[in-house]
Chains A and B, each alone.
Chain A
Amino acid sequence: MYQHWVLTALLVWPVVAAGVVLLAPEHWAKHLALVATVAEFALSVPLWWTFAPDGGFQFVQQTLWVPAWGISYAVGVDGISLFLVLLTTFLMPLSVLGSYNYITKKERGYYALLLTLTSGMIGVFVALDLFFFYVMWEVMLIPMYFIIGVWGGENRLYAAIKFFIYTMFGSLLMLVAILALYLTVGSRTGVYSFGYDHLLANIGTLGSVAWWYFAAFALAFAIKVPIFPFHTWLPDAHVEAPTAGSVILAGILLKMGTYGFLRFALPFFPGVALHPVVQTVMVTLALVGIIYGGLVAMVQPDFKKLIAYSSVAHLGFVMLGIWALTVQSVQGALLVMINHGLSTGALFFLVGMLYERRHSRLIDAYGGIARVVPLLAAVLTIVSLSSIGLPGTNGFVGEFLVLVGSFQTYPVATAIATTGVIIAAAYLLWALQRIIYNPLDKHENEKLRDLTPRELAVLIPLLAGILWIGVYPQPILRRMEPAARHFIELVKPGK
C-alpha cells in the first residue's frame, strides 16, 4: 500500500502544512514547521527499505491531469532520484531547526515558504511527466525568490532577481524544447503525451534538430548546476540568502541541474551528448569549474562566498563523472551529489552559526577561536575535511569513485581534475587556519558562545551522515548501481 501513495503524500503534505503554518499563531510557526518536516522525513524513510534496487521506476503513480494535451500527473523514483528525495526530506528539518534564531521577522511566511519549497523540490525529483516536471521546476523558484528577497542580507534584492531571471531564462527555452519534443513524438506515434517513458521510448532519431533540443535542455540545467560561464548567479544568491536558504540552494537546488542531465538531457539525446565536440566542451567546462571554482574560492575574504565557489568546484566533479559514462563514475557523481548536500550544507550551517555570534562572515574577523568554541571548531574541522575529501569521510568515497571511473574514459582530464582536490585542501585548510587557529587576536572573539544543544541537533545528523558514507557507503552504492547501469545503457547501448 505504502508504494501507492507515498510520493503523492510527500508532495501534498508540506503544502498542507504550509497552510496550517500560515493560519496558526506567529510564535507556533517554527515548531509547527519542525513537526511537519520531521513527519515528512519519517514518511520518506521507509522508501529506503521498500526500494528494490533495479533499473526501473518504482512507487509509480499516474493520473490524467489535462487529457486534451496528454498531460498527466505521474510520479516515481529510481536509484537516481531516491537519494535526492531522501536528501531533501533529511535536510529540511535541519534547515527549519537551523533557522530558529536566525529568522526573527515574518516567521509564518518564512516557514510556509520553506514547506512549499519542499514540495516543489520533491516534485522535480519524482516527476515522470515532462510538463509536470517543468511546472515543479518553476514553482520552486517562487519560494526561493522570496526567501532570498525578504529574509536575505544587504544585497538581497539584486541577488533574488538575478537568481530568478537566470533560472527562468534557461527553463523557458527548455519549455519550448519539451513542447517541440512532444509534438515530434506525437506526430510520429499518434499518441500525444508528455509521459517520460513514452517520450524516451519513441524519441527515435531526430536529425539535426536534436542539437537544438539538447542545447535548450542543457542550458537550463547548466545554469542550475551551475557550469562555469553560467555560474555568476550562484555566489550572489548563496551569500545573500539566509542560512537555511543557502543550505537548500547548495544542498538540493544545484542537484536539480545535474539530475536534469542524468534524467533528461543525456538519455533523450545520446547522439548529441556522445558527439566528440559536445563531450570535449562539457568535460572542459567541468574541469574549468573544478579549477576555477577552487582558485576563486581561495581568494575570497568572505567565508560564505568561499563555500559558494567551492560548490562550483564540487559540481564540476559531478559533471565529469556523468560525462565519463562508466558505472563507477556515474555512481561517484551521484554520491558526490549527496555528499555535497551534507558537507556543504553543514558548512553553510556553521557559517550561519558563526554569523549569529559575531555578525560577520569575513574570515579576517575570526582567528584562534578554537580555544573559545572548541566544539564548533571540531565540527568545522571534520566537515571541512569531508569537503576536501579526506579518506574516512564521505567526500573521499565520492570523489575517488568519480576519478577512478573517469580515468578509463578521460585520463588527461582526470589527472587535471585531481589537482582540484589539492586546491580544495588549500582553500579550506587555509581558511580553517585563519578562522579557528592562529592567535586569538580579536577582542570580540573572546566571548563567543559554543554550540548550543539546538545547534548540535542540527549538526550531529549531518556529521553522522558524513562519517557513515565515509566508512560504509555500500548500502547506498548498491541501490544506485542498477540505476547507473541503466543510465549508461540508455546513453550508450550495448556497452
Chain B
Amino acid sequence: MSLDLSLSRDMLTALLPELVLTGWALVLLCVVAWRHRTVADLRLAGWITLAGLASAGAAAWWLWWNAAHAEGLSPMIAADDFRYVTAGLFLGAAALTVLFSFDYLEREQLLAPEYFVLVVFATLGMMLMGGGEDLMVIFLGLELMSVSVYVLAGANRRSARSAEAALKYFLLGAFASAFLLYGIALIYGATGTTNLSLIGVQVSLDQSAHPTMLILGLGLLLVGFAFKVAAVPFHMWAPDVYDGAPTPVSGFMATGVKAAAFAALFRVLGEAFGASAPAHAVVVALAITTMIGGNLLALAQRSLKRMLAYSSVAHAGYLLVAVAAGSPQGRAAFVFYLVAYTLMTLGAFALLAAKGRNGEHDVQIDDFAGLATRRPWHAFALAVCMLSLLGFPGTAGFIGKWYILIAATASGQGALAALLVLTSVVSAGYYLPVIMAMYMKPEPSPDAHMGLRLGGLAGAALAASVAALLWFGVRPNRLLDLSASSGAAIHSAAPAAPGSHTPSQ
C-alpha cells in the first residue's frame, strides 16, 4: 500500500494507530470522569485501556501487513516498518504494564482510574516519537509522553517518596526537554528545516551555512536524549525516580519510555546525522561511560528496585552500542533487544510489585531468600528474567546481546563489543545474588513470602513473558526477520558506511 502523505486522506490512513488510540483515550477520559471511586471502576478503566491498546495495535498491524509506505519524502510522520514494529512494542509494553497494575493499584489503594488514561497518553507520545519524521513531531511526542509520566510517577499521592520522585523527574525532565528544544532550534537555524531527511541531505553534503551551529544543536539534542534514556553521566535522576514511583510505573519507565527515546534517537541519527562524525564520537563515549557506570553502580545496590534501576542504565549502555554501530543491523539489533528487554524488565518489576508489601519500603534482594521453596514458579520466573538480563544463552536476552555484538563487530566497533561482554560479566555480580537468595538461602520465616500475590491476569501475562523469553532464546528466527526488516526501513540520506554489508542482510 503506497501512501501519498500530502493528501489528507492518506495522511489519516498513515496515522490510523495514533488516531484510534486517541479516540479510545477520549472515551476513557469520559468514562473516568463519571466512574472513579471503586475498585470496579478501576477495573473498567483498565479493560477499556486494554481494548484501546489492542485496537491501536491492530491498526498498526494492518498498516504493517499491507506494507504501507510513503511515496517520496515523508513530511511529518514516517510510514515504515520501523514505526509499526516499535509502535507494536510500545503498545505491548503498555498492555503488560496495565495487566501488572491491576493488583498493585488495588493493594495500594490507588483508586485513581486516571492512571490508565495517563498510560494511554504516554503510549501515544511514544508512538509519535518512534514514527516522527520531523523534529517537531518527535518533540511533541516526547512532551506528551513525559508529562504523562511525570504525573504517573507521582500517582501515589499519599507517599512522600512518590511525590519527591515526580518532582525530581519533572524538574530534570523539563531541563532535558529544554536542551532538546534548544538543540532543535539551533539545527533549524543552521539548516532551515526540521525535517529529518532534509537535514540528512545537508549534513551528508556538508553544505550547511553554519556548521558550528549545527554541531552545537546536535550536541544539545544528544544531551536531551541522553537524559531521557538515562545514559551516564545524565542518569542521576533514574534511580531515585524509579525507586519512588509506583513499581509498575517504574517498569513502564524503564521499558517504554526508554525505548521511545531510543527509537527517536535511532531515527534522528540514522536519517539526519548518519554522516556526522562528532555525533558518532559522542555516542561511543556515552556507550562506554554508561556501560561501565551503570554496571558498577548496580553492583553496589542492596535494594532490588534500585538495582533494577541501575541495571536499566547499564542496558541503555548496551543499546548505545547498537546506536554506535550506526548500521541497519544496529537498528535491527535494537528492535530485537527491545523485545527481550521489555519482557524481562517488566517481568522483574511485576514480581517486585507483587512482593512489595503495603508501602513497599525497599524490598531488599535478601528479602527474596528462600522464595524457591515457597513459590517455585515465581522464583523460576524471576530467575529466567535475571538470566535473560544477564544475557545467558537459552534466553532472548542472549540473542539480543549477540545481535548487538554482531552489529558492533561488523561495523568495526570491536572494542565496544569487548567492553560490552566485560561489563556483562560484572552484571553477573548483581543478577546472580537474586537467584542465590531465592534458591540458596533459607527462608527467614515460614510466612516470609505469604504477602507475595500475583493475580490471575498478571500471572498469565508473566507466564507468557517468561515463555516468550525462553522461546526467542531458542527459536529467534521469526523475530530476527522482523527486526531485520524494520531495521532496514530507516534510510540514511548519507551514502552507506563501509562495513555495513553484513550477513543478515
Interface residues of A (CB under 8 A from B): 66-70, 106, 134-135, 138-139, 142, 145-146, 149-150, 156-157, 160-161, 164-165, 168-169, 172-173, 175-176, 179-180, 183, 186-187, 192
Contacts and interface: CB of A to CB of B under 8 A. Distances in A.
Given A149-B439, A150-B440, A138 B393 contact: yes
B392 A164 contact: no
Interface stretch (B7-15, B217-225, B403-411): B403-411
A24 to B, nearest CB: 15
A142 B387 CA distance: 10
A161 B441 CA distance: 13
Please classify the interface of chain A as helix (H, G, I), strand (E, B), loop, or mixed, using the class held by over half of its residues: helix
5 contacts: A66-B476, A157-B440, A176-B409, A176-B417, A179-B417
B480 A66 contact: yes
Contacts of B484: 68
Nearest to A169: B425
A149 B436 contact: yes
Please classify the interface of chain B as helix (H, G, I), strand (E, B), loop, or mixed, using the class held by over half of its residues: helix
A168 B503 contact: no
A164 B432 contact: yes
A69 B421 contact: no
A180 B409 contact: yes
B477 interface: yes
Contact of B425 (A70, A142, A146, A172): A172
Contact of B405 (A139, A146, A175): A175
Contacts, number: 84
A480 to B, nearest CB: 31
A176 B423 CA distance: 13
Given A68-B481, A172-B425, A135 B409 contact: no
Contact of B421 (A146, A160, A175): A175
A135 B410 contact: no
B424 A172 contact: yes
Q: Which residue of A139, A168, A180 has the most chain B CB atoms within 10 A of its CB atom?
A: A168
Given A150-B440, A165-B428, A172-B421, 19 more contacts: A66-B480, A68-B477, A68-B484, A68-B504, A69-B503, A135-B393, A135-B394, A139-B393, A149-B439, A161-B429, A165-B425, A165-B429, A168-B425, A168-B428, A175-B421, A176-B418, A183-B409, A186-B503, A192-B503
B414 interface: yes
B282 interface: no
A157 B428 contact: no
B385 to A, nearest CB: 14
Q: Which residue of B387, B393, B410 has the most chain A CB atoms within 10 A of its CB atom?
A: B393
A150 B376 CA distance: 14
Interface in B428-460: 428-429, 432-433, 436, 439-441
Contacts of A150: 439-440
Nearest to B390: A168
B422 interface: yes
Contacts of B425: 165, 168-169, 172
- 7 shortest interchain CB distances as A-B pairs: A192-B503, A172-B421, A135-B393, A149-B440, A138-B393, A169-B425, A68-B504
Contact of B414 (A67, A68, A176): A176
A164 B428 contact: yes
Contact of B503 (A70, A142, A146): A70
A199 to B, nearest CB: 14
A164 B427 CA distance: 12
Contacts of A168: 425, 428
A171 to B, nearest CB: 9
Nearest to A156: B440
A142 B436 CA distance: 12
A176 B410 CA distance: 11
